[in-house]
Amino acid sequence: GDSVTQMEGPVTLSEEAFLTINCTYTATGYPSLFWYVQYPGEGLQLLLKATKADDKGSNKGFEATYRKETTSFHLEKGSVQVSDSAVYFCALEDNAGKSTFGDGTTLTVKP
Amino acid sequence: EPEVTQTPSHQVTQMGQEVILRCVPISNHLYFYWYRQILGQKVEFLVSFYNNEISEKSEIFDDQFSVERPDGSNFTLKIRSTKLEDSAMYFCASLGAGELFFGEGSRLTVL
């Protein structure tokens, strides 16, 4: 079955540091790939997505590129802020709309 | 902006009681989903629903669970006899334009 493996956390960074959260996937077919963010006490929010190979999703300074050759969708941000502190989930969605999530990576950004 | 709404936001119940969680998906969406997130763990797929029937369900979705679309707007998840391990955040989602839109979740606490 489909699976998503995320870099283990938690990740603690200082403000303005560079962020990478690794994500790799296993899937049959051609899934769409997503990053979701969950702020403390809140639900899931879509952060960015990519629907085919070599697509780059971007939002709020975050980026991720769909790499079919390495089956990866790593999340990056050049300069993190305290307000970016949250749990980040990588996910894939199959053709039926069913999503499979990674374990989540907790990011804490310190001033 | 259209959104998925869920009620209640938090429900506390005694073990063995029935619980109904309600969701109002985005009005023109046709595919609906329930996901579950046990505290501190990953988001897990429970069930997908299309054309008034279950299209896929996970092994978590046993006979204690059922879903229903009783009218044109609501989509409900019923747990017949709750267990302690059903304590979790339950997310409803609907699919539109290849993107899952999540509600803010219903937190279920089983005592």
Q: Which of A67-81, A94-108, B85-99 has the highest mean pLDDT?
A: A67-81
Backbone conformation region of residue B10, classed left if phi is above 0, alpha if psi is from -120 to 50, else beta: beta
The predicted structure's pLDDT at residue A29: 82
Residues of A in contact with B93 (CB under 8 A): 99
CB contact A101 to B (< 8 Å): yes
The predicted structure's pLDDT at residue A80: 97
Q: How confident is the model at residue B109 (pLDDT cuts 50, 70, 90)?
A: very high
Average pLDDT of span A61-65: 98
The predicted structure's pLDDT at residue B71: 86
The predicted structure's pLDDT at residue A37: 94
The predicted structure's pLDDT at residue A44: 85
Residue B97 has pLDDT above 90, yes or no: no
Contact B100 A97 (CB under 8 A): yes
Q: How confident is the model at residue A82 (pLDDT cuts 50, 70, 90)?
A: very high
Instruction: Tell me which H or E stretch contains A38.
Output: strand A32-38
Average pLDDT of span B13-18: 97
**What token pair was written down for B12?**
């506390």
Q: Are A73 and A89 in contact (CB under 8 A)?
A: no
Query: Per-residue pLDDT tens for B76-89?
Result: 999 999 999 999 99
Identify which of B31, B55, B105 has the shortest CB distance to residue A43.
Answer: B105
Residue A62 has pLDDT above 90, yes or no: yes
Three-state DSSP state, A84: helix
How does DSSP assign B42-56, residue by residue? -EEEEEEEETTEEEE
The pLDDT mean for chain B works out to: 93
B25 C-beta neighbours (distance < 10 Å), count = 27
Distance CA A34, CA B99 (A): 9
Query: Per-residue pLDDT tens for B21-45?
Result: 999 999 889 999 999 999 888 899 9
DSSP state of B38: -
Three-state DSSP state, B85: helix
| Least confident among B4-8, B11-15, B36-40, B88-92 | B36-40
Give Cβ neighbours of residue A89 (< 8 Å, ≥ 6 apart).
Answer: A6, A35, A36, A37, A38, A44, A101, A102, A104, A105, B42, B43
Q: How confident is the model at residue A9 (pLDDT cuts 50, 70, 90)?
A: confident
CB contact B5 to A (< 8 Å): no
